[in-house]
DNA sequence: GAATGTGAATTTATTCACAGCA
DNA sequence: TGCTGTGAATAAATTCACATTC
């Protein structure tokens, strides 16, 4: 296998790997055991060469003239994405979005262990939403260090997101999925991905407004 | 103003406009009335030339030597994104995510009117989550046509997403925000944007796994 | 002097097209 | 023959750099 430094992998390839993995798992569960880049491309709606090139950053997973073995490919991509072991996740902010996420069972299936949930409001501290009792925000740093938290999903109000992410960074959490509608300047060494529903809706209205042509 | 055909605007510019709009509104509400591309770029964490170029697809909004008037820019981008009138939105799927979205007040502030909510399960039909009573899925097409629904947020299980989006397309809904964890092949004339939380988490683990360098 | 608006240069991503192998 | 893996070609996006205007 050749060099797999993150700097060799285009940023856009990574989310596509997740896409491939999902489709491949589906194929596997349907009993399909071989697939070509052409088939996969058609199923997902991409170019076949793109799929092959994406794989090529990590190794040679297929057989010329034949295609890819689905089970092998699932294992390889699982490994590429770091999903061959589990990750400790917390939710900061036990509002509407935070509690919906806490109750969602889809994450556990992918190896994401929800180990804690935090909020600043006395009215929800102690309540339970499928992730143990909600802890007070004061416990955040201690908990993150002790429990080796890998990822925080931040669902606090916009005005608190920056400070929250700063605290997480200081407590050694290196990855954040931020649902607050602010683009936060990521502290050094912290990876922040933004989930921004208003922005998504606005991208839709942009094209809707131009659809008359 | 020059040509503003959607084909002249790079796809990546559109979500950035939403980002600019949010920051500019914040500046306006803080009483800031002028801003340079350099300032804005620093606040958001982008290159100043990129911001200027993004604006340039739509017109000339600034004054050389001076900068941009915040209020003017807010209006211009609001218009570019089609946000100077309101849009009718429905939610299909009254599960965890659907009900959380229904109760979220942030959308209304942006001009998104939640006009209906649908589910197939008898146990939730008739319940209310801040968007009127939940209607049965059988009413979907009739409702979309009558109420001129613009956008559907789809929060149904993965296996039902494709069929649901097909029905929406047939009923004249041209834009979908899909939360179901499947990349749906968009029917002709329908814009589908994907909100995929598992994929986002997987992108984070990819980089976490490589962080040791 | 200061900051925009934009061609040109650069970088990044996608797609083509074909050599190489089962 | 059929499909992978990958250099080369193309397309898209970003950034530079500067003429232009206030």
Nearest to B73 by CA among B106, B121, B37: B37
Predicted local distance difference test score (pLDDT) of residue B212: 52
Determine the residue of chain A that is closest to B26 in CA distance.
A182
pLDDT for residue A3 is more than 70: no
Closest Cα to residue A171, out of A148, A202, A205, A137? A148
Fold classification of A87-199 is: Rossmann fold (3.40.50)
Q: Do A208 and B182 touch (CB under 8 A)?
A: no
What CA–CA distance (Å, rounded) separates B192 from B175?
Answer: 6
User: Which residues does residue B151 pair with via DSSP β-bridges, in sequence order?
Assistant: B89, B175
Complete edge-to-edge strand list for the sheet that includes strand B135-136: B135-136, B112-119, B87-92, B151-154, B175-178, B191-194
Average pLDDT of span A131-160: 96
Query: Would you state the structure tokens that stand for residue A171, as one six-digit string?
Result: 């407590």
Whether A95 and A113 have beta carbons less than 8 Å apart is answered as no
- In whole angstroms, C12 C1' to B195 CA is 24
Q: In which residue ranges of chain B is pLDDT below 70?
A: 1-7, 212-213
pLDDT surpassing 90 at residue A31: yes
**Touching check for A175 and chain B: CB below 8 Å?**
yes
Question: Which A-chain residues 74-113 have CB contacts (< 8 A) with chain B?
Answer: 80-83, 87, 89, 96-97, 99-101, 103-104, 106-107, 110, 112
For the beta carbon of residue B71, count every other beta carbon within 10 angstroms. 14
pLDDT band with cut points at 50, 70 and 90 for residue A106? confident
Span A6-80: which CATH code?
Answer: 1.10.10.10
Residue A125 is encoded by which pair of tokens?
């501290």
Cβ neighbours of residue A102 closer than 8 Å, sequence gap 6 or more: A91, A94, A114, A117, A129, A130, A131
d(CA A154, CA A165): 8
Q: What percent of chain A has pLDDT over 70?
A: 96
Rounded to an integer, the average pLDDT of A93-101 is 95
pLDDT above 70: residue A212: no
Contact B151, B173 (CB under 8 A): yes
Strand C: which positions are within 7 A of a protein CB? 1-7, 12-17, 19-22
Taking an 8 Å cut-off on Cβ atoms, the answer to whether A183 and B209 are in contact is no
User: What's the predicted TM-score (pTM) here?
Assistant: 0.93
What percent of chain A has pLDDT above 90?
Answer: 86
Q: What residues contact residue A95 under an 8 Å CB cut-off, 6+ apart?
A: A119, A155, A156, A157
Residues 6+ apart with CB under 8 A from A26: none
The pLDDT-based confidence of A213 (bands split at 50, 70, 90) is very low
Closest CA of chain A from B29, distance in Å:
14
d(CA B122, CA B13): 43
Q: Is the dihedral of CA B180, B20, B113, B87 positive or negative?
A: negative
For chain A, give every domain's residue range: 6-80, 87-199
A132: confidence class by pLDDT, cuts 50, 70, 90: confident
Give the residue from A58, B10, B146, B74 showing the smallest Cα distance to A21: A58
Least CB–CB distance from B100: residue in A81, A100, A193: A100
- B182 contacts chain A (CB < 8 A): yes
DSSP A20-73: HHHHHHHHHHTT--EE-HHHHHHHHTS-HHHHHHHHHTT---EETTTEEEHHHH
* Average pLDDT for A70-93: 97
pLDDT digits (tens, 9 = 90+) for B74-98: 999 999 999 999 999 999 999 999 9
Reference A94, options A118, A60, A123, A114; nearest CA is A118
Per-residue pLDDT, averaged over A202-209, amounts to 96
Q: Given its phi and psi angles, is residue B109 left (phi above 0), alpha (psi -120 to 50 degrees) or beta?
A: alpha
* Model pLDDT, residue B131: 77
**Which residue carries 């989006």 as its tokens?**
B165
- CA of B121, C1' of D12: distance in angstroms: 45
Using only the alpha carbons of chain B, give its radius of gyration.
20
Cα B178 to Cα A147, A155, B190, B191: the distances in Å are: 34, 20, 12, 10
What tens digit of pLDDT does each residue of A48-66 get? 999 999 999 999 999 999 9
Q: What is the pLDDT of residue A6?
A: 53
* Residues A128, A151 contacting (CB under 8 angstroms): no
Are B206 and A14 in contact (CB < 8 Å)? yes
């Amino acid at each position: 296998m050749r060099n797999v430094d993150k700097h060799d992998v285009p940023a856009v390839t990574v989310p596509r790997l997740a896409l491939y993995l999902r489709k491949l798992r589906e194929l596997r569960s349907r009993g399909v055991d071989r697939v070509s880049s052409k088939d996969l491309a058609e199923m997902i709606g991409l170019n076949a060469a793109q799929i092959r090139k994406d794989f090529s950053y990590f190794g040679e997973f297929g057989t010329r003239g034949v295609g890819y073995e689905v089970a092998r490919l699932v294992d390889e991509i699982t490994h590429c994405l770091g999903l061959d072991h589990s990750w400790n996740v917390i939710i900061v902010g036990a509002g509407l979005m935070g509690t919906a996420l806490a109750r969602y069972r889809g994450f556990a299936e992918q190896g994401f262990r929800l180990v804690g949930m935090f909020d600043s409001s006395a009215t929800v501290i102690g309540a339970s939403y499928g992730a143990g009792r909600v802890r007070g925000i004061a416990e955040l740093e201690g908990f993150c260090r002790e429990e080796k938290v890998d990822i925080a999903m931040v669902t606090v109000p916009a005005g608190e997101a920056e400070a929250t992410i700063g605290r997480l960074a200081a407590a050694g959490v290196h990855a954040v999925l931020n649902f607050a509608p602010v683009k936060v300047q990521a502290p050094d060494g912290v990876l922040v991905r933004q989930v921004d529903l208003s922005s998504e809706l606005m991208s839709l209205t942009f094209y809707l407004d131009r659809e008359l042509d």
